[in-house]
């Protein structure tokens, strides 16, 4: 059973990953997506999106591609060019990435217009080729995983897409239990994951609308998946993963209090301003967004 911190562009950068995994409960995180067009990126592009690859940021356990508290981090790639995706995946692994996740769910217009993200959900054969191309160049001991939505306009191709991903050689599949058309509107259709999970031989990770421990159990029940990826709920309730893990062993913990959340934000700010490469254009929107999510709680 795994709890995974979702990739969230503009939110879950290396600093958020460090803070949230430092609280505990997470088994894995995924970087914000790195958009691949038709070129092979130089190392600095990978380091910017995925600073945990830098040797000088190695954890106490001497590991790269892990947060400071020792949680593995996978790189997420988004794109539709088989060769460029494979070349960039291979380069990331050469730089030390411990896993590659492929994005088949991004709803952004700019991404979809260029045939990437959720727009690929209308083309299972293309998804299959992309997964296969990346799997072929990534060593067997490094997982290649994928994240999809249930479909583009509707769920008609959800089984085809899931099979395409499995047959392409993915190690597991995360499903955001909504279509692109559903956007982020509740509900998430957790029950639609159960037949997909039954169809596949690889593990399915459920994602969408898990905001509380109760949601975790409801999602597990309806989806049949015990591994879950937490997105916005992780920002709203920074100790959500720890609360879920504690509930699973029938241990009760004090939920994180407001002073501790303020300290968390202060630490986030400090980590960002300590990096001379970041200016207020980077720092301000990220702080603002996280404060916005925290205010929901």
Of 51, 151, 233, 238, which one interacts with ligand FMN (CB under 6 A)? 233
Alpha-carbon distance of 86 to 124, in angstroms, equals 18
Of 67, 103, 166, 223, which one interacts with ligand FMN (CB under 6 A)? 103
Nearer to ligand FMN, 197 or 259 (CB): 197
Nearer to ligand FMN, 132 or 147 (CB): 147
- How many residues touch ligand FMN under the rule CB under 6 A: the total is 22
Nearer to ligand FMN, 98 or 176 (CB): 176
User: How far from each other are the two terminal CA atoms of the chain, in whole angstroms?
Assistant: 26
Nearer to ligand FMN, 168 or 252 (CB): 168
Binding mask 237-276 for ligand FMN (x = CB under 6 A): ----------------------------------------
CA angle 207, 210, 214 (to 5 degrees): 135
Is 106 in the active site? Answer: yes
Nearer to ligand FMN, 184 or 270 (CB): 184
Chain positions 122 to 161 lying near ligand FMN, rule: CB under 6 A, are 147
Alpha-carbon distance of 67 to 76, in angstroms, equals 15
Of 3, 4, 7, 180, which one interacts with ligand FMN (CB under 6 A)? 7
Percent of residues in the chain assigned helix, strand, coil, to nearest 5: 45, 15, 40
Chain positions 173 to 232 lying near ligand FMN, rule: CB under 6 A, are 176, 207-210, 230-232
Alpha-carbon distance of 270 to 82, in angstroms, equals 40
Q: Could you tell me the smallest distance in angstroms from the CB atom of residue 195 to ligand FMN? A: 20
| Identified catalytic residue from 106, 219, 225, 262 | 106
Alpha-carbon distance of 167 to 190, in angstroms, equals 23
Using CB under 6 A as the criterion, which residues of the chain lie in contact with ligand FMN when the complex forms?
6-11, 32-33, 76, 103, 105-106, 147, 176, 207-210, 230-233
Give catalytic residues, as residue numbers: 106
């Amino acid at each position: 059973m795994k709890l995974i911190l979702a990739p969230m562009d503009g939110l879950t950068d290396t600093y958020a990953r460090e803070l949230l995994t430092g609280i505990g409960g997470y088994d894995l995180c995924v970087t914000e997506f790195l958009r691949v067009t038709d070129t092979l990126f130089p190392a600095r592009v990978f380091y910017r999106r995925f600073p945990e690859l830098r040797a000088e940021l190695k954890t106490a356990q001497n590991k790269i591609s892990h947060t400071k508290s020792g949680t593995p981090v996978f790189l997420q790639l988004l794109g539709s060019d088989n060769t460029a995706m494979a070349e960039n995946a291979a380069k990331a692994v050469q730089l030390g990435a411990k896993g590659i996740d492929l994005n088949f769910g991004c709803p952004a217009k700019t991404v979809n217009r260029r045939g990437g993200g959720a727009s690929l959900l209308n083309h299972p054969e293309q998804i299959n080729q992309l997964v296969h191309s990346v799997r072929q160049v990534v060593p067997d001991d490094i997982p290649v995983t994928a994240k999809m939505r249930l479909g583009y306009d509707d769920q008609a191709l959800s089984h085809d897409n899931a099979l395409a991903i499995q047959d392409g050689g993915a190690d597991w599949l995360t499903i955001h239990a909504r279509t692109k058309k559903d956007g982020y509107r509740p509900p998430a259709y957790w029950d639609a994951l159960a037949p997909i999970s039954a169809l596949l031989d690889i593990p399915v990770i459920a994602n969408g609308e898990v905001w509380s421990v109760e949601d975790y159990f409801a999602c597990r029940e309806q989806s049949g998946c015990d591994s879950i990826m937490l997105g916005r709920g992780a920002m709203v309730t920074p100790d959500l993963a720890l609360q879920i893990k504690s509930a699973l062993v029938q241990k009760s913990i004090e939920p994180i209090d407001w002073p501790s959340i303020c300290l968390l934000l202060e630490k986030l700010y400090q980590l960002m301003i300590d990096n001379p490469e970041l200016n207020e254009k980077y720092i301000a929107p990220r702080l603002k967004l996280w404060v916005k999510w925290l205010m929901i709680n």
